Amino acid sequence: MAFSELLEHVGSLGRFQVLQMVALVIPILWLTTHNMLENFSAGVPDHRCWTPLLDNGTAPDGHLGRTLDPEALLAVSIPLDPNQQPHQCLRFRQPQWQLLDPNVTTGNGSEAATEPCLDGWVYDHSIFASTIVTQWDLVCDFQNLKPMAQSIYLAGILVGAAACGHTSDRFGRRLVLTWSYLQMAVAGTAVAFAPSFPLYCLFRFLSALSVSGIMMNTGTLLMEWTSTKARPLLMTLNSLGFSVGQMLTGAVAYGVRDWSLLQMAISVPFFVCFAYSWWLPESARWLLSTGHPERSLRELRRVAATNGRRPAGDALTMEVLLSATRGELSGSQAPVKLDILVRLPALRLRTYVSMLCWFAFGFTFYGLALDLQALGGDIFLLQVLIGAVDLLAKASSLLFLNRLGRRPSQAASLVLPGLCILANMLVPHEMGAVRSVLAVLGLGSLGAAFTCNSIYGGELFPTVLRMTAVSLGQMASRAGAILGPPVRLLGVHSPSLPLLVYGAVPVLSGLTALLLPETRGLPLPDTVQDLQKQ
């Protein structure tokens, strides 16, 4: 196409693309920490009721002829739960001194009068100095408030995706991206100073509104400033930023154990991103498609100068631009209505299947990997390992996209994790090593699915509708993320039922991807007419 030739003329993979890649991926690293933050900022430490004997210095000097140690005071103050561990939500109304008698079994205290934690809780701070759970006592009768905060954040991303696509297609990629950096910096920092839990949820929601703006415009700018051959490489590097961001999350959270300081540590960098984002040029392809050839020419000349091709940029005149891109301009004069995504048969199929693939990714990933504490072990190390596996899977996906093509890679990246999850239904719990291998394969394949969705989804739609289509995909992904975690509640009926749902959704979605057209090696369509010619 004409614009692709112009991009090759000024440099489609040069110094500018390298600098743009670095400038855009650095914020992605910190964005990922916000998405995974509540694995640590909302960590639930071991806790028990506050009791006068243990926590008010009112314990007697001795009982039954011996000095009372903390373990003994705990036994007479806190009842045991069904697992024979100190109960986290109940205490004895009165100290049960008879439990210190070696001839009395623990069962003799089971009928003693108990009460909830009327005076608050005592938390174990050996792992976390503080979390929002310890800050606002989100335990026992209030434990449902923690997942509610997480759902509010995910809902914010969903709302942001709904607004971002059309806004970016109308006002530009770079302008919306710059605003999103500022909003994330301000709202994210405000979260650290939230005086109450409702305000915490509000500021987290406001910061989540900017997540989709950063993700979608980053990928679109990279795609629209890069040649067809180099596009998979840059988009894969962009997706690797999320993998490195997961490892960064574990590292930063390990060093900063206070939730408010951790929140500030991952939010302040966005002020720097906002400051340098003004250097980023607007998408010349978008400017051309929306009837701004003068600005498009300026941006093309600027890129040519950055790539060391100033003479080529100076030789590019308005007459040359208009002559070379007459097809794009004539095809974009009429306003494009959003309903064309479902009204035009070719676009309708692409829209529905792309949304389904994004939904399957969000549904399965967030349903299985959002609560690291449920997996046990060192959650800091686990977060880093998940990011490392994700990185390897995404790096390998570049090979499959170029060798096998977009369509089979997209299908395989969803079908494989689905089959791994379904296979786990057949593996006994005693075979922990086999189950772990299947889980790693599943998570790794989901990382590849994210890369395939990002590259393939952008190539399926024309420039004038690309951000709108991508935003619909992001909305579907976030809807899946919201619906995924509650599926775990089906485990009360059958332990295998959640795995059946988590496995079936990506398998069926991956198979529908085979209905899409192949886009490997094809230039990006700028208008609906370009897409129809393909």
Same domain, 81 and 12: no
Q: Is residue 128 part of a domain?
A: no
Q: Is residue 516 part of a domain?
A: yes
- Look at residue 59 in the predicted model and tell me its pLDDT: 53
Same domain, 57 and 36: no
How does the average pLDDT of the chain come out, rounded? Answer: 83
In the predicted structure, residue 95 carries a pLDDT above the cut 70: yes
Domain span holding position 509: 2-44+139-533
Q: Record the tokens describing residue 298, joined without a space.
A: 């300026």
Q: Tell me the C-alpha distance between 534 and 531, whole Å.
A: 5
Out of 123, 150, 170, a domain closes at 123
In the predicted structure, residue 300 carries a pLDDT above the cut 90: no
Q: Is residue 390 part of a domain?
A: yes
Same domain, 221 and 88: no
Same domain, 437 and 295: yes
What confidence tier does 33 reach under pLDDT thresholds 50, 70, 90? very high
Q: Is residue 528 part of a domain?
A: yes
Same domain, 192 and 179: yes
Question: Among the ranges 372-376, 474-478, 512-516, which has the highest mean pLDDT value?
Answer: 512-516
Q: Which of 128-137, 360-369, 412-421 has the lowest mean pLDDT?
A: 360-369
- Look at residue 473 in the predicted model and tell me its pLDDT: 87
Encode pLDDT of 143-191 as tens digits.
Answer: 888 888 888 898 898 888 888 877 888 888 899 999 999 999 999 999 9
Which residues, including other chains, have CB under 8 Å from residue 317's CB and lie 6 or more apart?
297
Same domain, 184 and 275: yes
Q: Is residue 133 part of a domain?
A: no
Q: Number of folded domains in the chain?
A: 2
- Look at residue 252 in the predicted model and tell me its pLDDT: 94
Q: Which of 60-64, 243-247, 301-305 has the lowest mean pLDDT?
A: 60-64
Pairing of strands 47-49, 62-63: unpaired
Determine what percent of the chain is predicted with pLDDT higher than 70. Answer: 89
Q: Record the tokens describing residue 39, joined without a space.
A: 């694995």
Q: Is residue 130 part of a domain?
A: no
Same domain, 99 and 185: no
Look up the CATH number of the domain holding residue 356: 1.20.1250.20
What confidence tier does 248 reach under pLDDT thresholds 50, 70, 90? very high
Same domain, 441 and 396: yes
Which residues, including other chains, have CB under 8 Å from residue 210's CB and lie 6 or more apart?
160, 179, 180, 181, 183, 184, 187
Q: Record the tokens describing residue 383, joined without a space.
A: 């977060």
Q: Is residue 66 part of a domain?
A: yes
Out of 63, 95, 123, a domain closes at 123
- Look at residue 333 in the predicted model and tell me its pLDDT: 47
What confidence tier does 135 reach under pLDDT thresholds 50, 70, 90? very high
Same domain, 489 and 513: yes
Pairing of strands 114-116, 121-123: unpaired
- Look at residue 518 in the predicted model and tell me its pLDDT: 87
Same domain, 345 and 233: yes
Same domain, 525 and 379: yes
In the predicted structure, residue 431 carries a pLDDT above the cut 60: yes
Out of 64, 92, 123, a domain closes at 123
| pTM of the model as a whole | 0.79
- Look at residue 175 in the predicted model and tell me its pLDDT: 92
Buried b (16+ CB within 10 A) or exposed e, 101-118: eeeeeeeebeeeebeebe
Closest CA to 509 of 330, 358, 387: 358
Q: Is residue 201 part of a domain?
A: yes
Region 16-28 average pLDDT:
91
Q: Record the tokens describing residue 62, joined without a space.
A: 């001795």
Same domain, 293 and 438: yes
What confidence tier does 1 reach under pLDDT thresholds 50, 70, 90? very low
Encode pLDDT of 194-240 as tens digits.
Answer: 999 999 999 999 999 999 899 889 988 888 888 777 877 888 888 88
In the predicted structure, residue 27 carries a pLDDT above the cut 90: yes
- Cβ contact 281:292 at 8 Å: no
Q: Count Cβ atoms below 10 Å from residue 495 Cβ, excluding itself.
A: 11
Which residues, including other chains, have CB under 8 Å from residue 87's CB and lie 6 or more apart?
48, 49, 78, 79, 80, 81, 114
C-alpha angle 419/422/424, rounded to 5°? Answer: 110
Region 280-298 average pLDDT:
84
